[in-house]
Structure 1
Amino acid sequence: MSIKNKKLELRNHMLQVRAQITLEERTIKSEQICNHMIQFLKGTLNKKQPIKLLMYMPFKNEVDITPLMDWCWKSGGSVFLPKVVHNYEMEIHHIHSLQDVEAGKFGILEPKSNTDICHDLSQIKIVIVPGIAFHSSGGRLGFGGGYYDRFFSRYDKLGIKQPYKIAVAYDAQIVENIPIEEHDYRMDQVITEKGVL
C-alpha cells in the first residue's frame, strides 16, 4: 500500500475515533490540554518578551484552544490566526479578540479581511498545530491539504529559523505509527489531556 493510501486509511479511521469523543469529554479534555499548554509555555518562554502565538480556530470536534487565546491576551501577548487564500496558502492575521473572526468558505472561523496581515514570519516563533493523528515522536497526520507543511516550508525558503511547533490532541489521537513523507514537518511537542509527551 502506498504512503498516500496508508495516510487516507489512517485519516478515515482516526476521524471516526475522534468523533466518538462526547461533547462533555471534549470540553473537559480541551480545558485540561489548555492548562498543560499554559504551564508548559510559562516554564519555557523568555519572560522578558510578550508571547506571540499562531493558533487555529477549532472546527467540529477539534481541541478547543480558545481559553489559551484568552490567557495569551490577558498576559499581554499576541494571537495570530491563519486564513486560507486563493493559492491554497495560509495568510497570517493578527487578531485582538474573537470579534475579529468570521465563518470562511468551509464554515471554519477565520480572521476577518480587515485584520492586520503579518508579513514578517520571523516574529511567529510558536505555532499551535491541529491534526487528526499524532505520534509521540512528533509525527503528524493532518487533513491532507498540506497547508501547514507549505507554511513551514516558507521559513526554509526565507532562511528563517523554524517556529516551535506544538501539537494539541486528545490522547485518543496518539497512534503507534504515522506514515511520513519527505515534505512532512514533525512537531517539536505534543500535548494531550494527560500532559506533555
Structure 2
Amino acid sequence: MHPESENPESIDSKVNNPPRRQFTRQRRQLNDGMRRQYAQSASLHLAKLQQRLPPRARIGLYYDGFGELPTQPLLDWCQRLGYLPYLPVVGSLGRDHKGLDDKHLRFVPIYQSKLVNVPTRIHRLGMKQNHHRRLLWARELDVIICPLVAVDKHGNRMGMGGGFYDTTLGKIYRSGAKKPLKIGWCYDFQVVEQLARQPWDVPLDGLITPSGIRWF
C-alpha cells in the first residue's frame, strides 16, 4: 500500500512515534564486526535494486558516522557495476536570514574506493562531508540512499530531525517525478509497524535491510 493512500491526519491522531534514542541506543550496542556482517547481508539484496537502474546510474550515498548500517558495501557495489557514487553536502547554498544552513542538499562525486579515504571536514551538526566544485542537485541522481532512524511498513521515514532530506526531495516528490528513487538502508530493528506522518514528510520508494528488500 502506498503511504499516500491513507489519510495522514488519521495516522497522526492514532500514532505516537517511538523516541529516536530507542533506535540510536540499539545501534550503539552493535560492535564493528556485527555492523559489517549486517551490511554484508543487506548488500546481497542490491541485485534487485540494480534491475531498476540504467547503466552508469548516479547513486547518492552517505557516511555512516552515527552507528548506522555501514555504507561501504554500497560504494563497493557502485564501483563493481560502474555506477557513479556521490555524497551529500549541507550548506552549499549558504545560510538563511536566521544564519542557518540552507537545507537543500547537493551531492559531490566520490573518487576514492573507501569512504574512510574521502577527504572530509566535520560540519557543525556533527556529520562528515566532502567539498568539491562539481555539485549535483538531487534531481540529477537516479537513486538516493536515505539515512534514517526508523521506517514503517508503508515507507514513512523518521530521520534525524534536521529535515534535510525532506526539504531536498519534497518538491521533486510533489511533482510526481520518478527519480531519484528514495531507498532506505538500515537494520531490521529500525523497521516498525507504523509511524506518524507529517504533511512535509517524503516517503521512501523502497527499503533494504539485512533480511531483504521491499517496495512501497
Q: Give the one of 76, 85, 88 matched to 1:79.
A: 85
Contact kept in structure 1, 2:144 and 2:180, CA below 8 Å:
yes
Share of identical aligned residues, percent? 25
- Contact preservation (8 Å) 2:173, 2:202: no
Shift of 1:159: 7.8
Q: In 2 relative to 1, CA 159–25 (structure 1 residues): closer, same or farther, beyond 3 Å?
A: closer
* Change over 3 Å in CA distance of 1:137–1:156 after alignment to 2: closer
Task: Give the paired residue count.
Answer: 188
The structure 2 residue matched to 1:117, chosen from 128, 135, 141, is 135
Give the AA of the match of 1:181: Q
Matches of 1:171 and 1:118, distance apart in 2: 31
| Structure 1 runs of 4+ with >3 Å offset | 98-101, 156-162
Higher helix proportion: 1
Structure 2 stretches of 5 or more lacking a match? 1-11, 92-100
Cα distance change of structure 1 residues 174 and 84 upon mapping to structure 2, 3 Å threshold: same
Does the CA contact (< 8 Å) of 1:30 and 1:193 recur in 2?
yes
Task: In structure 2, give the amino acid aligned to 1:57.
Answer: Y
The Cα of 1:160 is off from its aligned counterpart by: 4.8
Distance 2:134 2:167 in 1: 21
Q: Residue 104 of structure 1: CA displacement?
A: 2.0
In angstroms, what is the RMSD of aligned CA positions?
2.3
CA contact (8 A) 2:103 2:167 kept: no
After TM superposition, give the deviation of residue 116 of structure 1 in Å: 1.4
| TM, length-normalised to structure 2 | 0.77
CA distance in 2, matches of 1:115, 1:35: 34
Q: Is the 8 A contact 1:78 1:96 kept in 2?
A: no
Which residue in 2 is equivalent to 1:132? 149
1:44 aligns with 2:49: no
Q: CA deviation at 1:161?
A: 4.1
Q: Give the residue type in structure 2 aligned to 1:153.
A: G
What is the Cα deviation at residue 51 of structure 1?
1.7
1:71 and 1:16, CA in 2 relative to 1: closer, same or farther beyond 3 A? Answer: same
Give the Cα–Cα distance (whole angstroms) in 1 for the partners of residues 210 and 80 of structure 2: 23
Shift of residue 156, structure 1, vs aligned partner: 5.1
TM-score where L is the length of structure 1: 0.84
Quickly say closer, same or farther: Cα 1:160–1:44, change in 2 above 3 A: closer
Code of the residue aligned with 1:45 in structure 2: it is L
What is the aligned partner in structure 2 of residue 184 from structure 1?
Answer: 201
Deviation at 1:115, TM superposition (A): 4.5
Report matched runs for 1:1-197 at 5 Å: 6-7=16-17, 9-37=18-46, 39-46=47-54, 49-85=55-91, 86-97=101-112, 98=115, 99-105=117-123, 106-111=125-130, 113-119=131-137, 121-155=138-172, 160-197=177-214
The unaligned stretches of length 5 or more in structure 1 are none
Q: CA 1:45/1:158 → structure 2, altered by over 3 Å: closer, same or farther?
A: closer
